[in-house]
Amino acid sequence: MRNDTLKSLRKPVRTLIRGGIWLGALGGVSALVPLFGLAALADALQTAPPDLHRIAILAALIVICAVSGWLATTLAMGLTHLADERLQARLRGRIITHLGVLPLGWFTGTHSGIVRKAVEDDLTELHYLTAHHEVERVRAVSQPLIGLFCLSLLNWRLALLAVATWPLYGVAYLWMMRGYRENLQHMDRDLAAISAAIVELIRNIVVIKSYRQARRIHNDYGQATSRFAAFYGGWAGRTARIEAISALLLSVPVIMLTSLAGGYHLVTAGQVTPVMLLAEIMVAITLPQSFQTLHTGNAAFKKAQAAAERLEHLLSLPILPAPTHPLSPRSAEVTFDHVSFAYDDGRPVLGHISFTCAPGTVTALIGPSGAGKSTLARLVPRFYDVTEGAIRLGGVDVRQLDRATLYKQVGFVLQEVELLHGTVRDNIRLGKVDAGESDIIAAAQAAQIDSVIQALPQGYDTIIGDKHRFSGGEAQRIALARMILANRPILILDEATSSADPDHEVQIQAALSHLARGRTVIVIAHRLASIVHADQILVLAEGQIIQKGRHEALIAQDGCYKDLWEVENRAQPHAHPAETEGALPC
């Protein structure tokens, strides 16, 4: 399965790789000729008088083969690097194209590290395999085989002498690899424990310090690192000793000593000549490098297989279906028609939701955490597709709109605001790439963020992420400026004031009021006071609409909304509004 995946990814550049392999094999064989040529040259120099013609031919042959081997290897590496460049460009293009048609919900539920690992780490693993491994492996295989074959032609005893230390190395290597898989799993568990301790410390630093639990967390981290150090030190110590012994068996001095000791007996017995022994020594000392190349290449090959599987998984993720004959909406009306939604694992989130948002009205979604509010709102811009029912914009099912048309109709400001690394101007201009300076400033003023930007040393040319980072409330106002500039007729606002402090929340509410004028707005609220003037309020619990109406009607009847309203009004003035939402059962 893994080999098939790897072959499939590299199929477009297979011809270039094969050319590199053949040239690599030629280079490996050509590199052996000078070794035997040097032995023959030494023999020719010992004759008296020396045969100058023979010496000249041998010298020329050595130079020609050495240059030919170098050229063949260089051309082989050139072809495989060209193959890698083309493969990388192709895969990067496929990844970017595929990411562009994935449902937006995949990105909200998936850590960005998956994409980063695919684009950077996984493609790097394929680089070594494509650009280096194939050529190096064929040289590592062809050189020993041809060298041992030539020694066998001279005298089979020389071939055995060249690999005399290899059986001992094999025994040492097998001993070193005992329990390797189990030890690796043990190491992964210990590293995971260390990572968990670090994440807990960083993520909960405020709570830890507030409740004086730093010592306990430090102890957890210390115990995790101590366990890892004890295990890894013992394993690495045993492995290092055996590896040192095994490496010694394949070292040049030991191989030469073994060859000279064994060769002395063969020469004195008249079975080989000194020149033949010299050829054996030169071949024997090249063999360990070939073995090391194969060993390193095998590890790289396994990593590349795993990388190929991850890339194939990413590229096989189901895309957002595109309509064959796209339509255009007739208005900004949003209709939910018996909408149900469940995740891929079958876990239900929403069930049979029906309501209509008329153009120019505000619909507020409220309810306890986990009620399905965010999921419901994100179905409109097709972060996910509904499992049952339909969502219509201006009478047209959103699945019958192409992405460009859909995103021209629907704008959204999410709870998790993302600002790109770039200027403030460019971040706002994402809403309308051809917007002029006056339009950008007007949008920022409407979003109550212009004065903050103007106070920066570089103003709108300030680079976000270098020397300046905006607070959560400021980032949300920049996102609102972006959306004001985009001027979409339908707006999805998912707790757009959640990251703001009370002072900034007032400013964001003013910006939202400006943004909502004349548009169809669906807003998820965590503070009921902010949506008392909504045209309709939907109260959700466990994926169902349990109450529906205006504020005045809902507080006049017993139910979840009235309970939420009373709890909010009883809340302490200093409590953050978000604190009241998740704790309320309905």
pLDDT tens-digit readout, 86-111 = 988 888 888 888 888 888 777 765 55
pLDDT digits over 512-566, tens only? 676 677 889 998 887 787 788 889 999 998 889 999 999 999 999 888 888 888 8
**Across the beta sheet with 520-524, what order do the strands follow?**
410-413, 490-494, 520-524, 362-366, 536-541, 544-549
Domain boundaries along the sequence of the chain: 2-165+250-315, 334-581
The three-state secondary structure class of 468 is strand
pLDDT over 70 percentage in the chain: 80
Backbone region of residue 461 per phi and psi (left: phi > 0; alpha: psi in -120 to 50; beta: other values): alpha
3-state secondary structure of 413: strand
SS3 141: helix
Could you check whether 2-165+250-315 and 334-581 share the same CATH topology?
A: no
The angle that helices 472-486 and 502-516 make with each other, rounded to 10 degrees, is 10
Residue 181 pLDDT class (50, 70, 90 cuts): low
Q: Which residues contact 31 (CB under 8 A, 6 or more apart)?
A: 65, 66, 69, 73, 139, 143
Band of the pLDDT at 1, cuts 50, 70, 90? Answer: very low
Q: Shortest CA distance to 492 belongs to which of 522, 524, 515?
A: 522
Task: Determine the Cα–Cα distance for residues 523 and 531; give it in Å rounded to an integer.
Answer: 9
Tokens representing 455? 């106070």
291-312 confidence digits (pLDDT tens): 777 777 777 777 777 788 888 8
Please state the pTM of the whole predicted model. Answer: 0.64
> Rounded to an integer, what is the distance from CA 283 to the centroid of its chain?
44
Mean pLDDT computed over 338-342:
93
Asked if pLDDT for residue 254 goes beyond 70, the answer is yes
Q: What is the pLDDT of residue 449?
A: 87
State percent of the chain over pLDDT 90.
12
pLDDT at position 546: 92
Residues 6+ apart with CB under 8 A from 186: 231
pLDDT number for residue 148: 80
- Find tokens 């006049």 and name the residue: 556
Question: Which residue would you say has higher pLDDT here, 238 or 282?
Answer: 282
Which amino acid is residue 390, in one-letter code? A
Condensed to tens digits (0 to 9), the pLDDT of residues 7-52 reads 777 888 888 988 988 888 888 778 777 767 766 776 676 676 777 7
Nearest-angstrom CA–CA distance, 175 and 178:
5
pLDDT for position 580: 39
Mean pLDDT, rounded, for 329-354: 89
Q: What is the mean pLDDT of the chain?
A: 79
User: What is the mean pLDDT of the segment spanning 257-261?
Assistant: 83
* Cα-based torsion angle of the residue sequence 389, 393, 399, 402 in order, rounded to the nearest 10 degrees: 180
What would the 3-class secondary structure string for 200-255 be?
A: HHHHCHHHHHHCCCHHHHHHHHHHHHHHHHHHHHHHHHHHHHHHHHHHHHCCHHHH
What lies within 8 Å, CB to CB, of 178 at 6+ separation is: none
Topology of the domain comprising 334-581: Rossmann fold (3.40.50)
Tell me the C-alpha distance between 488 and 234, whole Å: 63
Residue closest to 334 by CA, chosen among 366, 290, 380: 380
pLDDT at 575 over 60: no
pLDDT digits (tens, 9 = 90+) for 234-245: 766 666 766 676
| CB half-sphere exposure, 180, CA atoms < 13 A | 7
* Gap between the Cα atoms of 573 and 568, Å rounded: 10
Mean pLDDT of 387-406: 92
For domain 2-165+250-315, the CATH superfamily is ABC transporter type 1, transmembrane domain (1.20.1560.10)
